[in-house]
Structure 1
């Protein structure tokens, strides 16, 4: 049977490991948020409009245009080239149709 002191040390070690993992996850989340902001700015520049001037309805039209040009619009693969239909992209359009009814 472990002593109480040994159990506390082991718990501290595991907690430090979890804290390190949390720091790594926070850093990755920050990097992804920065990348997302850059991609939004590039997309707005691509369409020649400032980001704040794009109304929501026009944004959906632009997403449809991207999808029709062969790009993913789903969260997991956004902006990547599609080689065929994507269930996740299609699910997005299904939700949009249901929401607009």
Structure 2
């Protein structure tokens, strides 16, 4: 009787350890893929920011606003002082002329 109880406890312990180890490995792999995905998105955003900066730098505020509104991005567009926000992207103006995109 005592042997059966010890055997059951050992089996339960072994199964729970296997389950916990699987969970740990699965989370590690998921975090690695998530980190890689974030890095890829960050790189893509940097490339797109550089392209937009090259295309729109030196243009006036009204022109940039019309270009962004023409692409149905009006819901995401916020204008405060000399900065136009499109999501997390900042269009920085000086005297009404685009000088930087971050």
Q: TM-score normalised to the size of structure 2?
A: 0.48
Higher relative contact order (CA 8 A, sep 6+): 2
- Which one has the bigger helix percentage? 1
Q: TM-score normalised to the size of structure 1?
A: 0.49
Tell which structure's C-alpha radius of gyration is larger: 2
